[in-house]
Amino acid sequence: MDAWASTSFNRLSGEQSRLHKEEKPVDVTVQNVARSFGTTAALHGVSLDIRAGELIALLGPSGSGKTTLLRILAGLDVPTSGRVLFDGDDALGLTVQERNVGLVFQSYALFRHMTVLENVGFGLRVRPRARRPSRSEIKRRSLELLELVQLSGLEKRYPTQLSGGQRQRVAFARALAIQPRVLLLDEPFGALDAKVRRDLRRWLREIHDRTGHTTVFVTHDQEEALELADRVVVLNNGKIEQVGTPDEIYDEPNSPFVFSFIGESSVLPVHVRNGQVWLEDRPLDLPAGTLRDGPGQLFLRPHDVDVVSKARNGISGIVTTVRRHGGSRRFELEIDQGREHIEVELPESERSLQSSVAVLPRRWRIYQ
Partner 1 sequence: MAGISGLALKRPSVIPGFGLAFGFALTYLGLIVLIPLGAMVVKAASLGLAGFWDIVTNPRTVAALRLSFVTSLIAAGINAVFGVVIAWVLVRYRFPAKRLLDAFVDLPFALPTAVAGIALTAIYAPNGWIGSWLAPLGIKVAYTPLGILIALVFIGLPFVVRTVQPVLEEFDREIEEAAATLGARRDQTIFRVVLPALIPAILTGFALALARAVGEYGSVIFIAGNIPYVSEIAPLLIVIRLEEFGYAEATAIGTAMLLISFGLLVFVHVVQAWRRRRFGND
Q: What does the binding site for partner 1 look like in residue numbers (CB under 8 A)?
A: 74-76, 96-97, 99-103, 105, 107, 109-113, 122-123, 126-127, 158-161, 171, 174-175, 177-178
Closer CB to partner 1, residue 180 or residue 253? 180
Which residue, 97 or 349, is less far from partner 1 as judged by CB?
97
Residue of 153, 91, 143 lying closest to 121 (CA atoms): 143
Please, what is the minimum distance in Å from the beta carbon of residue 131 to partner 1? 9
Nearer to partner 1, 95 or 349 (CB): 95
Tell me the closest approach of the beta carbon of residue 175 to partner 1, in angstroms.
8
Q: How far is the CB of 210 from partner 1 (least distance, A)?
A: 21
Dihedral angle sign, alpha carbons of residues 186, 187, 193, 198:
positive
Whole-number minimum distance, CB 249 to partner 1, in Å? Answer: 29
- Measured from the CB atom, the residue of 25 and 180 that comes closer to partner 1 is 180
CB of 134 to partner 1, least distance (A): 17
Nearer residue to partner 1 within complex by CB, 33 or 182: 182
Instruction: Provide, rounded to whole angstroms, the least separation between the CB of residue 77 and partner 1.
Output: 10
- Rank residues 173 and 366 by Cβ distance to partner 1 and give the closer one: 173
Do residues 59 and 233 make contact, with C-beta atoms less than 8 angstroms apart?
Answer: yes
Nearer to partner 1 (CB atom), residue 79 or residue 159 = 159
Of 177 and 288, nearer to partner 1 (C-beta) is 177
**C-beta neighbour count of 314 within 10 angstroms:** 22
Phi, psi (deg, nearest 5) at residue 326: 60, -125
Q: Rounded to the nearest 5°, which phi and psi values hold at 90?
A: -60, 130
For residue 183, the minimal CB distance to partner 1 (Å) is: 11
Least gap, CB of 185 to partner 1 (angstroms): 12
Burial of 28: CB neighbours in 10 Å, binned 0-12, 13-18, 19+: buried
